[in-house]
Structure 1
Amino acid sequence: MLLEQERRDVCLTARALAAGTGTAPGESGTVSVRSGDLVVVTPHGVPLDQLQAADCPVMSLDDRVLEGRRDPAAEATLHLAVHRRAADHGDEVTAVVNAFTADTVAVSAVLAELPPIHHRAAALGGAITVTPYTLYGTGEIADHAVKALKGRDAALLAGHGGLALGHGLEHALENLRLLDWLSTAYLRARQVGEPRALSEDELAQVRHRDTYGWAGPDIW
């Protein structure tokens, strides 16, 4: 079976996504991972927690299905666009996860941008762009997502939810969970008042601080 281990890893990630992020029932998102010029993606028509490795299509970067007993998920178009850009630019991004969680959908339906109200937002690149609403599974939503992801490891798709990248499936899922947490924190803060967003200088300080580990930049 082509890319057997990658297909198993996609299934494990899909099950973790369904179990741990409060996603919508059924087909609540899409998971993909790239190995060279080939991409494994979750299929259409199967709940994430019921996937088997043979269900997952293997695709080429030019949108051809090479193997798999089911058709690709509708958002395979979006995922392949992100993977093509990563491959063309030599990025370390090899995995993409998108999901319909209640809080990412809520934020994406209201805001044009998710402000960075916590220092962990620096790990995703800072403020998170919300793309214009577009029908899922189209080239238009893929184009919007690729644009929103420039300099970022996550984006919000208006009316759809969150999208995150990573240099592996575990990292992409971690980033998706962080995006969901930041969305939750923002929604709770808005119940109290207008949240204060961190400035670009403050985010730069966070990134600088992160390079030093526990000791911090003032170590002797």
Structure 2
Amino acid sequence: MGSERMIVAVAEPGRGHVDHEPAVRHPVRAGLTMRHRAARELIVELNRRCVTDGLSTGTSGNLSVRVPEGILITPSGRAPRRTEPDDICLVGFDGVPLAGELRPSSEVPMHLAVYAATDARAVVHTHSPMATAVSITHAELPAVHYAVDDLGGPVRVAPYATFGTPELAANIVTALGGRTAAIMQNHGAITVGRTLEQAYERSMLLEWLCTLFFHAVQLGTPRVLSQDELRDVREQMARLRYGSAP
């Protein structure tokens, strides 16, 4: 397989937990590094948008996409502005790195657990400030706006567990039951989708809903939509084929 060399990436400071392990070169299987070029480029693009859109800072957060061989995931300890398509890691469904010169994100176990438990094709994990604030003070994000229906309903807060652990992965899978988003206590947020674009838009929606909830709480006691009202929303969206092309 040829000689291997060590490559060190310095993590940049950021709020909250960041992937800070030293980056190393993993065994590269012939031809795997250059596969799924379009997916790699999209991961890089949206990873950078996480910073410009205020969803993450420094080297925090991680994105992944499911592919036949496993998952493509952002590397550990690499700032988005310094991450290129070839830096995206390919990890097998057993957690073994298949391609990439950098160490995969420490949250690989969480991503793999989500893919195993759901039909998600993409996962976005951020340290978005408003969602994290909600995680510190509430057990869920209530249905303060009908747009929460796109996330499956009120968003649960998964109990805290150390990053990168099986316990955290299990907590997230439970919180995601019947949902496309979950908030991670004292940590951040996670969204899933059929595509990476959809998962990312749900991250933006979740942060907007958390911001709306924050402002509502400052003004008084928020009115929360009932289950019947949310059911009516779903039925209306189905009738109007909301979000579909004309």
Shared fold by TM > 0.5?
yes
The SS at the match of 2:137 is coil
Give the equivalent residue in structure 2 for 1:64: 96
Query: Is 2:9 aligned against 1:9?
Result: no
Q: Which amino acid aligns with 2:183?
A: L
1:116 is aligned, of 132, 138, 143, to 143
- Determine if contact 1:155/1:164 at 8 Å carries over to the other structure: yes
SS at 1:54's partner residue?
Answer: helix
Q: Please give the secondary structure, in 2, of the residue aligned with 1:181.
A: helix
Deviation at 1:214, TM superposition (A): 8.0
Picking from 197, 210, 220, the partner of 1:193 is: 220
The answer to whether 1:139 aligns with 2:166 is: yes
Contact residue 160 and residue 186 of structure 2 kept, 8 A: yes
* Deviation string, structure 1 residues 185-205 (Cα, Å, up to 9, x no partner): 000000011111111111110
After superposing on structure 2, the runs of 4+ consecutive aligned residues of structure 1 that deviate more than 6 Å are none
What is the correspondence of 1:52-201 to structure 2 with a 5 Å cutoff? Answer: 52-86=84-118, 91=119, 93-201=120-228
Aligned to 1:19: 52
- Count residues with an aligned counterpart: 209
SS at match of 2:103: coil
Contact kept, 8 Å, 2:50 with 2:56, in 1: the verdict is no
Question: For the pair shown, which has the larger CA radius of gyration, 1 or 2?
Answer: 2
Q: Contact 1:130/1:158 (CA < 8 Å) preserved in 2?
A: yes
Query: Where does structure 1 lack aligned partners over 5 or more consecutive residues?
Result: 216-220
Residue 162 of structure 1: CA displacement?
1.0
Over aligned residues, Cα RMSD in angstroms? 1.4
The answer as to whether partners of 1:28 and 1:48 remain within 8 angstroms in 2 is no
Question: How high is the TM-score relative to the length of structure 1?
Answer: 0.91
Distance in 2 (alpha carbons) for counterparts of 1:25 and 1:174: 18
- Report the CA distance between 1:145 and its aligned residue: 0.3
Aligned sequence identity (%): 36
Query: Are 1:34 and 2:90 matched, yes or no?
Result: no
Q: How much has 1:19 moved relative to structure 2?
A: 1.3
Contact 1:117 1:197 (C-alpha < 8 Å) held by counterparts: yes
Offset at residue 212 of structure 1 (A): 2.4
**Contact 1:96/1:165 (8 A) holds in 2:** yes
- Separation (CA, whole Å) in 1 of partners of 2:66 and 2:216: 37
Select between 206-215 and 177-186 the one with higher mean Cα deviation. 206-215
Q: Secondary structure of the equivalent of 1:190? A: helix
Q: Structure 2 counterpart of 1:7, which letter?
A: R
**In 1, Cα distance between equivalents of 2:69 and 2:157:** 29
Q: C-alpha distance in 2, partners of 1:182/1:210?
A: 19
Normalized against structure 2, the TM-score is what?
0.82
